[in-house]
Copies of this chain bind each other. A is one copy, B any other.
Amino acid sequence: MDINFSEQEIKFSEEVRDFVSQHLPGDVSRKVLEHKRLDKDDVQRWHVALYQKGWIAPNWPDRFGGCGWNSVYQHIFDVESAALGAPRLSPFGLGMIGPVLVAYGTETQQSTYLPKILSGENWWCQGYSEPGSGSDLASLNTRAERKGSSYIVNGQKTWTTHAQWADMIFCLVRTSSGARKQEGISLLLCDMNTPGIEVRPIVTLDGEHEVNEVWFQDVEVPAENLVGEEGKGWSIAKFLLSHERTAIAGVGVSRRELVYLKHLATVHKFHGKPAKEDPVFMDRIAELEIDLLALEMTVLRVASGEASGGEPGPEASILKIRGTEIQQRLTELQLEVVGQSALPHLPMAWGDSWMGETPGAIHAAPLAARYLNHRKTSIYGGTNEIQRNIIAQRVLGL
């Protein structure tokens, strides 16, 4: 056991820094660091830069175009690139359906979809939740009926992040009504341009459009787009969800936001002195920073076990819970330090083209919206209550 970085690891981190500094577009980095709104093209430009470098799929096997990094390298990349303002790539292709296709896809599916995920040609979105099936995902009702060489899909998905940007959707659908509700669920891949699919925006608490409803009316999906066996989609879904949880810890971004928080504490004042001289506030930052350090070490521990042993266990639920709690606390403390400056509601001020003045500090403008937006983190990807149920049952055996 050795918790210090090796020389190779230090060298790699320098390599990452150099690459990011040179290839991350300056306007994208600035938007990320200042919490401005990103559009698809912003993310895409970074995606392509990484693709060209061969750094696009850290956790895919070599033969499918992955980098073959171990978990420490992945972590270094995460932290270093986030620190310099790299945007989060869309996770649905690279982090979710990609690994699923690697594990369960047919050769045709692999050769059709994986290269386009890597290149960024295809963006994906996720068709999991439904209005009646949130935490109880297995109770989903979207039906796919086999008709000749196609499935006909009817139903409604919701909370579909960036469906408005996606070329493809992977969907959990019900292909038969088994005795247990987990049975009869299948995973289908579906082109977003297929007739009968309609995307309706959902505006969230913060006034922004990020998630959508996706409606399916007699949507015809070729049968070869079924992943794995018909009716066995549930175990694939679980495989995918546990992958999602590891990434969701978000250590790199949280480290960046912590540095930003400390920066804000030098700019904003309490009682006439910089907030960083307020011991009560700094005690709270210290507590958060220590929790983040613990999370980071836990990520590395879990990830290294993963590398040696296979898929991440239910321990990954810890990362989901604590990772999202920390992300939320960061938004709270950032809001606290700017205080009243965050009151004005000026959504135009966090667009990129805004050149006007704001009543408070300009960087304060997006912080209330950011706080509200981040309430989602303890809900999505399996609520934190569901994660606790998972740990209770599968780790503690209660």
Residues of B near A283 (CB, < 8 A) are: 280
Q: Does A279 contact B (CB under 8 A)?
A: yes
* Cα A206 to Cα B392 with chains together (Å): 31
Instruction: Tell me the nearest residue of chain B to A286, going by C-beta.
Output: B280
Copies per complex of this chain: 2
A80 vs B332: C-alpha distance in the bound complex, in angstroms? 41
> In the bound complex, what is the Cα–Cα distance between A278 and B280 (angstroms)?
9
Give the residues in chain B near A278, CB-CB below 8 Å: 279
**Which residues in chain A, 248-292, are within 8 Å of chain B measured between CB atoms?**
278-280, 283
Q: Summarize A's interface: helix, strand, loop or mixed.
A: helix
User: A280 — nearest CB in chain B belongs to which residue?
Assistant: B283
Question: For the complex, what is the distance from the CA of A280 to the CA of B284, rounded to whole Å?
Answer: 9
Residues of chain B with a CB closer than 8 A to A279's CB: 278-280
Q: How far is the CA of A283 from the CA of B283 in the complex (A)?
A: 11
Task: Report the bound CA distance from A301 to B132 in whole Å.
Answer: 42
CA distance A280 to B279 in the complex (A): 6
Cα(A328)–Cα(B319), bound, Å: 31
Measured CA separation A280–B278 after assembly (Å): 9
Most buried by B among A278, A280, A283: A280
Q: Measured between C-beta atoms, what is the minimum distance from A321 to chain B in Å?
A: 21
Within 8 A of B (CB), among A328-343: none
Residue of B whose beta carbon sits closest to that of A282: B280
A340 and B279 CA atoms in complex are apart in Å by 23
Residue of B with least CB distance to A283: B280
Taken together as a complex, chains A and B put the C-alpha atoms of A278 and B283 apart, in Å, by: 12
Chain B nearest CB from A290 CB (Å) reads 14
Give the docked Cα–Cα distance between A279 and B278 (Å): 8
Q: Of all chain B residues, which has the CB nearest A279? A: B279
**Chain B contacts for A280, CB-based, 8 A:** 279-280, 283
CA A4 to CA B4, docked complex, whole Å: 63
Complex CA distance for A59 and B131, rounded to whole angstroms: 54
A279 to B281, CA, bound (A): 10
**Smallest Cβ distance from A289 to chain B, in angstroms?**
15
Minimum C-beta distance from A265 to chain B (A): 15
Please, how many angstroms separate the alpha-carbon atoms of A279 and B279 in the complex?
6
Bound complex: CA of A280 vs CA of B283, how far in Å? 7
A282 nearest CB across to chain B (Å) = 9
Bound Cα distance from A247 to B280, whole angstroms: 35
Give Cα A282–Cα B237 distance, bound, in whole angstroms: 50
**Closest Cβ–Cβ distance, residue A287 to chain B (whole Å):** 10
Q: Distance (Å) between the CB of A388 and the closest chain B CB? A: 16
**Shortest distance between the CB of A286 and any CB in chain B (Å):** 10
5 interchain pairs, CB-CB under 8 A: A278-B279, A279-B279, A279-B280, A280-B280, A280-B283
- Interfacial residues, chain A to chain B (CB-CB below 8 A): 278-280, 283
Closest 5 CB pairs of A and B: A279-B279, A280-B283, A279-B280, A280-B280, A278-B279
